Homo-oligomer: A and B are copies of this chain.
Amino acid sequence: MTESAPSKRTQVGRLPQRGDYSKATIHSILDAAFLCHVGFVVDGQPFVIPTGYGRDGDTLYIHGSAASRMLRNLDQGIAACVTVTLIDGIVLARAAFHHSMNYRSVVVLGTATLVEETEAKAEALRIISEQIVPGRWKDARPPTAQELKATTVLALPIDEASAKVRTGPPKDDEEDYALDIWAGVLPLSLQPGTPIPDPQLKAGVDEIPEYALHYRTQD
Q: Is the CB of A202 within 8 A of B180?
A: yes
Q: Is the CB of B184 within 8 A of A198?
A: yes
Q: How many residues of A contact B (CB 8 A)?
A: 95
**Residues of B with C-beta under 8 A to A41:** 41, 44, 46
**Shortest CB distance A63–B (Å):** 10
**Residues of B with C-beta under 8 A to A217:** 188
Complex copy number for this chain: 2
Q: Is A90 an interface residue (CB 8 A)?
A: yes
**Shortest CB distance A197–B (Å):** 4
Interface string of A24-47 (1 = CB under 8 A from B): 000000000001011111101111
Once A182-B139, A183-B201, A188-B192 are accepted as A-B contacts, the answer to whether A50 and B125 lie under 8 Å apart by CB is no
Q: Is A1 an interface residue (CB 8 A)?
A: no
A72 to B146, CA, bound (A): 47
**Residues of B with C-beta under 8 A to A52:** 101
**Shortest CB distance A139–B (Å):** 6
Q: Is the CB of A79 within 8 A of B44?
A: yes
Q: Is the CB of A169 within 8 A of B200?
A: yes
Q: Is A120 an interface residue (CB 8 A)?
A: no
Q: Is A115 an interface residue (CB 8 A)?
A: no
Once A187-B192, A215-B186 are accepted as A-B contacts, the answer to whether A137 and B96 lie under 8 Å apart by CB is yes
A selection of 27 A-B contacts at a CB cut-off of 8 Å is A9-B42, A35-B85, A35-B101, A37-B39, A37-B48, A37-B85, A39-B46, A45-B81, A50-B103, A52-B101, A90-B133, A95-B147, A96-B137, A96-B140, A99-B132, A139-B181, A169-B196, A181-B205, A182-B197, A182-B209, A185-B195, A185-B196, A186-B196, A187-B193, A187-B195, A188-B193, A189-B190
